[in-house]
Chain A
Amino acid sequence: MSIIYMLLAISVVVAIIFFIAFIVSVKKGQYDDVYTPSVRMLFDDELVKPDPEKNQPVNKVKSS
């Protein structure tokens, strides 16, 4: 039954990993603008047919 120590340790570690992921995402500014991405998401499908010669328009923007 000492396996419970193991399980406990794993569950706490998993929880802490997610917690760190949350903190990092806040720090990177992912929650600073919660509106624009919801609109931007809808554009990706509906890009106007790009000319074959021209480069595929880049719609995704690197996060800062």
Chain B
Amino acid sequence: MKSCFHCGEDCLEEIINYDGKSFCCSGCRTVYEILNSNDLSYYYDLEKTPGISPKINEGKYDYLENTEIIEKLLEFDHDGTQIASFTIPSIHCSSCIWILENLNKLHKGIKSSQVDFPKKKIRLSFSSEELNLKNLVLLLVRIGYEPNISLDNYEKKDSNIDRSLIYKLGVAGFAFGNIMFLSFPEYFEINEFWLEKFKHLFRWLMFTFSLPVVFYSGKDYFISAYKGLRAGILNIDVPIALGITVLFLRSTAEIVLDLGTGFFDSLSGLVFFLLLGKFFQQKTYSFLSFERDYKSYFPIAVTRIHTVNGETIEEQVQVYKIQKGDRIIIRNEELIPMDAILIKGKAKIDYSFVTGEAEPVSKSSGEKVFAGGRQQGGIIELEALKPVKQSYLTELWSDEVFKKDKNSAFQNLTNQISRRFTYAVLSIAVLSAIFWIFYDPSKAWNVFTAVLIIACPCAIALAAPFTLGNILRIFGKNKLYLKDANVIEQIAQIDTVVFDKTGTITENDRSRIEYEGVKLTEVEKQLLGGSLRASNHPLSRSLYEILDKNNISTPEHFMEHTGMGLETSYKDLNLKIGSKAFTSDTGSSFTEVQVMDKKARTTVHISSNNQYKGCFSFHNSYRDGLSELFQELDGDKELIILSGDNDGERSRLSQIVPEATRMLFNQRPGNKLQFIKDLQKSGAKVMMVGDGLNDAGALAQSDVGIVISEDVNVFSPACDGILDAKRFRELGNFFDLSGKAISVIKFSFLLSLFYNIIGLGFAVSGNLMPVVAAILMPLSSISIVVFTTLATQILSKKLKK
């Protein structure tokens, strides 16, 4: 088998030889031709088969001539220079970067282009006189880099990136380093002459450096502690804020009263390490979005038609402009953006993403179609019933479940510990102070503050961020992309897993087709292939895919009966392909008993010369390892399958999955959401595994919503994590590792308690030197970091192969 020089796919259908190289399709060849003739063949030297087969559908971008839309998409437009940014999901290798940054060689209108690889974005500056936006996009499409333009682009220009954590970290690190230098002399040389002379200057310098650390870098801890206290929660930030305050006040008092150097070094170090933990935990997958709603799925514009003086005018209109009663045109593979009535044309609408129904639905004129469906086949004309924002699908987003923040309700492990910890520390501080009041009152204050300083739970606060941050990265490497580190703790608590069917446990593009009935002769097979090739019906397309394509006879006579099937003939052979009624009303001699039990299943029937032959039945093809995964999870967790589809697959599914699995069919998006809510009311911690917009409500309601995606770059609804479909089988291991991560955190707590006890020994006995604090605090923090990193690496070995 030859593979394509451009995209690396196996050449299945035909091989095009050009320039001594083979290509899988003319699209790939064209890209090669364009690049080669523009001196850009270095593209192929950088990486092997870097290309993407282009899907050219030029009419699709006509809306980019609409000035209003152009205006929204451009970032900058002045003096003939325009700047636009696009997200291009197909950016995947260094060749992509190279070619996209050398676009100016393809068209002199392009001035410069810059790729942001992690975000899969390109920023283009071009001359508006030589190149308009539409042609620029078409240029990208032609070389295989189709930008993703959706309704989302229309709404927000660009979100401001929050860089405050980096600033805070920078400030703390800067102050930490400088204060360490300044405090170093006093660690060892106590009564040296020069030191005596300069130490006051050094101390006040340290004080100055510590001001931004306390009041800028550390301010989040005070805010969070205050919020926690007001809500009656002793979160981990309470003892931290207490520690920072005591450190700062005592140190200031010490230098003002000339008692000592204070603990400015420990103070800045503490804040620096804490922020470092925060920074580490903040791993973001910038090319993914976990907050998407229907807007990134919907098109930015549609074709509106209206009749003026008997002439029909087509124009591209922004979708929000569409009013009730407007006529719109939807072409093949386009999305229906609002609820509407079908006026003209044969609608074959694929709702799989919206409702979970596996097969496209046929509609005839006068029937209602709903937003979110994708037309398959010819052009249809619709009359809008509602504006976009009031459609059935978009209304789902107004459910309050999409507005609430899941994390706020979740009490994480660190905060659970911190309650007891705070009480313990406070009582130790008070008790030891009381002891010293009677024993040596001069030291009581000293001991009280020393206890609060040394017990500041830096190591405890670092344990979770570093463990979870590591696990987050390991999951990311194994293609499970989580929204944030808290999700891991929630995964560890899950006891009920709810699966969607279509697209989640079944594969999207591949359905299994089986033939049952009288064996077809060679001649019949050849004609079948030829007839199916001529038909645009989705079932014909998928059936054609599995047939032998080398021996095909083109039908001499071809008739397509809408909603019924095909009638074709070649020489003396006459074939009928289609519904059962269509093929079997012709004096069939075939007993229909065999097909009776399949009534809920999708079938294509064949009859030859009025003789019923048999039928092809379409099964959902389940993901590899589904059965094993369910066996693995069974017992440990309650498993439920929640499908928007009909129950035609129930019997087959029940053979695959464990007996205890509950199955519910015909669930609308709203039902799914309610179902999850009911489960949670009965005390279950629910994980929802889904894929489409129909699961969006359930994903948002569940404790953890995971989206299965064949291609992580394409649209997926709002969720807590995106799992690559190829790693579906590993779901059990992800559960396993999350549980182990929690154990690692618990061990780290023990370890840091051990350090605290040593420190408390110094503090309670009243001889806490600044140098001891300055050693103990970084030591405990670093050993926690080392321990968690090693432990997570060892535990994750199972996932790595």
Cβ–Cβ contact B178 & A12, under 8 A: yes
| Bound Cα distance A43, B167 (Å) | 32
In chain A, residues 38-54, which have Cβ atoms closer than 8 Å to a Cβ of chain B?
Answer: 39-40, 42-43, 46-48, 50-51, 54
Known contacts A36-B117, A48-B42; A8 and B201 CB within 8 A of each other: yes
Residue from B94, B166, B194, B205 within 8 A of A39 (CB atoms): B94
For A1, give its contact among B123, B167, B194, B201 (CB under 8 Å): B194
Is A57 touching B104 in the complex (CB atoms < 8 A)?
A: yes
Alpha-carbon separation in the docked complex, A50 to B105 (Å): 10
Contact partners of B112 in chain A: CB under 8 A: 58, 61-62
Considering residues A31, A34, A43, which has the most beta carbons from chain B within 10 angstroms of its beta carbon?
A43
Contact B174 A19 (CB under 8 A): yes
* Smallest beta-carbon distance A54→chain B, Å: 8
Are B198 and A57 closer than 8 Å at their CB atoms? Answer: no
Is B41 on the interface with A (CB-CB < 8 A)?
Answer: yes
Contact present for B170 and A22 (CB under 8 Å): yes
Stretch at the interface among B95-103, B312-320, B585-593, B778-786: B95-103
A31 to B197, CA, bound (A): 43
Docked Cα-Cα span, A62 to B123, in Å, equals 11
A31 CB to closest chain B CB (Å) equals 7
Contact with B along A18-39 (1 / 0, CB 8 A): 0100110011010111111001
> Is B119 close to A, CB under 8 A?
yes
Known A48-B42, A62-B112: A33·B98 in contact at CB below 8 Å: no
User: What residues of chain A lie closer than 8 Å to B115, measured between beta carbons?
Assistant: 36
Is B361 an interface residue when CB atoms closer than 8 A count as contact? no
B41 and A61 contact, CB distance less than 8 A:
no
Q: Is B40 an interface residue (CB 8 A)?
A: yes
CB-CB < 8 A to B42: which residues of A?
A: 46-48
Interface: B153 (CB within 8 A): no
Partner of A64, one of B41, B98, B123, B166: B123
Contact of A32 among B161, B194, B201 (CB under 8 A): B161
A residues in contact with B171, CB < 8 Å? 19
Decide yes or no: A32 and B116 within 8 Å by CB, A1-B194, A26-B167 being known contacts: yes
Q: Which residue of chain B is the closest to A42 with respect to CB atoms?
A: B94
**Chain A neighbourhood of B680, CB < 8 A:** none
Size of A's binding interface in residues, CB under 8 A: 34
B:97-151 near A, CB below 8 Å: 97-98, 101-102, 104-105, 112-119, 123
Q: Which residue of A lies closest to B45 (CB)?
A: A46
Assess A33 versus B104: contact at CB under 8 Å? Given A27-B163, A61-B112. no
Contacts of B105 in A (CB 8 A): 54, 57
* Smallest beta-carbon distance B662→chain A, Å: 45
Find the B residue at minimum CB distance from A18: B174
Checking B39, B104, B170, B194 against A19 with a beta-carbon cut-off of 8 angstroms, the contacting residue is B170
**A48:B117 contact, CB within 8 angstroms:** no
Q: Is the CB of B166 within 8 A of A59?
A: no
Complexed CA–CA distance, A34 and B116 (Å): 9
Alpha-carbon separation in the docked complex, A63 to B697 (Å): 41
Closest B residue to A39 using CB positions: B94
Which residues of chain B have C-beta atoms less than 8 A from A23's C-beta?
167, 170
CB < 8 Å neighbour of B104 from A34, A36, A48, A58: A58
The complex places the Cα of A8 from the Cα of B205 at a distance, in Å, of 10
Chain B: CB-nearest residue to A34: B118
A48 to B44, CA, bound (A): 12
B118: A residues at CB distance < 8 A = 33-36
For A59, the closest partner residue in chain B by CB is: B101
User: At the interface, yes or no: A6 with Cβ under 8 Å from chain B?
Assistant: no
A59→B105 CA distance, assembly (Å): 10
**Are the CB atoms of B123 and A40 closer together than 8 Å?**
no
Interface residues of B in 427-481 (CB under 8 A from A): none
Residues of A within 8 A of B167 (CB): 23, 26
Pair B40/A48 contact, Cβ less than 8 Å: yes
Chain B positions within 8 Å of A36 at CB level: 97, 114-118
Q: Which of B63-107 contact A (CB under 8 A)?
A: 94, 97-98, 101-102, 104-105
Min CB–CB distance A7 → chain B (angstroms): 11
Complex Cα–Cα for A42 and B116 (A):
16
B-side contacts of A58, CB under 8 Å: 104, 112
Residues of A within 8 A of B194 (CB): 1
Asked whether A15 is an interface residue with its Cβ less than 8 Å from the other chain, the reply is yes
How far, in whole Å, are A1 and B170 apart by their CA atoms in the complex?
33
Smallest Cβ-Cβ distance to B202: which chain A residue? A8
Say whether A40 contacts B97, CB under 8 Å: yes
> Min CB distance, B423 to chain A, in Å?
40
Asked if A33 and B116 sit within 8 Å, CB to CB, the answer is: yes
Task: Flag B156-170 by CB within 8 Å of A: 1 or 0 each.
Answer: 000001010011001
Chain A residues whose C-beta falls within 8 Å of the C-beta of B201 in the assembled complex: 5, 8
Contacts of B166 in A (CB 8 A): 26, 31
Chain A residues contacting B104 (CB-CB under 8 Å) are 57-58
CB-based contact A40/B178 at 8 Å: no
Query: A12–B112 Cα gap in the complex (Å)?
Result: 41
Q: Bound complex: CA of A30 vs CA of B174, how far in Å?
A: 19
| Chain B residues within 8 Å of A59, by CB | 101-102
Interface members, chain B 636-683 (any A CB < 8 Å): none
Q: Are A26 and B119 in contact (CB under 8 A)?
A: no
Complex: how many Å from CA A39 to CA B112?
A: 17
CA distance A64 to B121 in the complex (A): 14
Given contacts A4-B198, A46-B42, A64-B123, contact A15 B205 (CB under 8 A): no
Among A36, A50, A64: residue with most chain B CB under 10 A: A36
Task: Considering the complex, give the chain B residue whose CB is closest to the CB of A29.
Answer: B161
Taking CB atoms, residues of chain B closer than 8 Å to A32 are: 116, 161
Q: Which of A22, A39, A54 has the most CB of B within 10 A?
A: A39
> How far apart sit A5 and B198, CA to CA, in the bound complex (Å)?
9
Q: Which residue of A lies closest to B94 (CB)?
A: A39
CB neighbours (8 Å) of A15 from chain B are: 174, 178
Complex-state Cα separation, A10 to B163, whole angstroms: 29
- How far in angstroms is the closest Cβ of chain A from B2? 27
Apart from A12-B205, A19-B171: 8 A-B pairs, beta carbons within 8 A:
A1-B197, A4-B198, A12-B178, A19-B170, A36-B114, A36-B117, A39-B94, A43-B97
4 A-B pairs with the lowest CB-CB distances in the bound complex, closest first: A61-B114, A36-B117, A33-B116, A39-B94
24 CB < 8 A contacts A-B: A8-B201, A8-B205, A12-B205, A22-B170, A26-B163, A26-B166, A29-B161, A32-B116, A33-B118, A33-B119, A36-B97, A36-B115, A36-B116, A36-B117, A39-B97, A43-B98, A48-B39, A48-B41, A48-B42, A50-B39, A59-B101, A61-B112, A61-B113, A64-B123
